[in-house]
Amino acid sequence: MTAVDDALALLAAPAVGVWSAPGRANLIGEHTDYNEGFVFPFAIAQRTAAAVALRDDDVIRVRSTFADDAIEVSLADLDARIAAGGLDWAGYPLGVAWALLHEAPDAAPRGVDIALASEVPVGAGLSSSAAIEGAVASALNDVWGAGLDKVALARVGRIAENDAVGAPTGIMDQMASMLGVTDAATFLDCRTLETRPVALGFAEAGLAILVVDTLVEHAHSTGGYRERREACERGAAAFGVASLRDLAVDDLPRAEEILDDVTFRRVRHVITENQRVLDTVAALDADGPAAIGDLLVASHASMRDDFEISVPELDLAVETALSAGAVGARMTGGGFGGAAIALIPAELLSAATDAVHAAFAASGFRRPSIFTVTPSEGARRDA
């Protein structure tokens, strides 16, 4: 059974279609998106599906395989329900509906039943939320005749996440989920929203991406993520610039002079991470995927020491994967839990998996979930 099958089974009404969108793994470029910087994610094969049936009234009814209760909201009451909050998981699909209506005033909204099913692990840093947003936005864009392109639908997803759910994230996740290309990552300028697919060539080089989901759950709408964003804003304000995107590595000596230690280290991570994204894209173009390992390792060290968003489980996953032969490894996602990724020769996958399981057991950590991901297609209509 796929997510599409599960969504159709849950709908229990004649569907007008099924749309899906993938999660994403971020190869490099963490916490740079809301600083208008550079990111380099790829869509993964694991997807969330949204099956849709039409109604005769103005009610949006959402159900999912990951919650027991259906949530119903009339279109007339949608603004008030979003403002009131407290919708839990339903804030994502209903937030998309709300944002789409505001972003596409020519749309023709009508009542719908939406059934959601997902293959994307929740809390693993693989953006299960963007997968929901992308699937629902793609569905309602078609059903309501909104006529938005994929970049505009990514904006709809970000508005839902920021304003309906209250998570202060950037637009990277939504853009990766909407614009994914098979065997490529999306090089994204978060200021201009210009994108370029960059071939990865992992399989051709005999490499694979191993994900170690630590099962340490995180929540972006809670304090740690918000505090990091506020530190970045303080750093930009101290320099009188719109965002940290406007600063470069050459500005770090001055930053160390004028900023307190914590703010400086947050700023240093973002500035150096932006440069690592640019260097990674250049290395892939020039020398292929085997050349990017040191950049992945440096990114993890920066997130661990300067941005302080790693946890012991993530550090152990990275260290063990490198000891088992990975070309490079880093935590991925917003941090405070979630997953690490390792770029590793395919023939070492089994041994590396065993090594990570053994290391977690020896440290008394919960047994992680370990699997591979492949760069895959973005949002689409499936049926």
> In the chain, pLDDT over 70 holds for what percent of residues?
98
Confidence of residue 226 (pLDDT cuts 50, 70, 90): confident
Average pLDDT over residues 295-323: 98
Q: How far is CA 236 from CA 30, 38, 269, in A?
A: 17, 16, 13
With 80 as the cut, is the pLDDT of residue 374 above it? yes
Specify the pLDDT at position 1: 81
Query: pLDDT tens, 245-297?
Result: 999 999 999 999 999 999 999 999 999 999 999 999 999 999 999 999 999 99
Sole residue written with tokens 């293959």: 119
| DSSP state, residue 160 | I
H-helix or E-strand spanning residue 317: helix 312-323
- Which of helix, strand or coil describes residue 8? helix
Average pLDDT over residues 230-246: 98
Q: How far apart are CA 346 and CA 349, in angstroms?
A: 5
Specify the pLDDT at position 221: 45
Closest C-alpha among 185, 214, 216 to residue 369: 214
Specify which residues 63 forms β-bridges with: 115
**Count of C-beta atoms within a 10 Å radius of residue 142:** 15
> In the chain, pLDDT over 90 holds for what percent of residues?
90
Catalytic annotation, residues: 173
- Phi-psi category of 381—alpha, beta or left, where left has phi over 0 and alpha has psi -120 to 50? beta
Closest C-alpha among 328, 314, 316 to residue 359: 316
Average pLDDT over residues 63-90: 93
238-245 own/partner pairs: CB under 8 Å, 24+ apart: 238/263, 242/36, 243/35, 243/36, 243/37, 243/191, 244/35, 244/36, 244/37, 244/270, 244/271, 244/274, 245/32, 245/35, 245/36, 245/37, 245/190, 245/191, 245/274
| DSSP state, residue 16 | S
Answer whether 378's CB lies under 8 Å from 366's CB: no
Contacts of 210 (CB under 8 A, 6+ apart): 321, 326, 341, 342, 344, 349, 352, 353, 370, 371, 372
Average pLDDT over residues 201-224: 85
**DSSP labels, 280-300:** HHHHHHHH-GGGGHHHHHHHH
Lowest-confidence region among 103-112, 131-140, 160-169, 246-255: 160-169
With 50 as the cut, is the pLDDT of residue 329 above it? yes
Answer whether 347's CB lies under 8 Å from 227's CB: no
| DSSP state, residue 310 | -
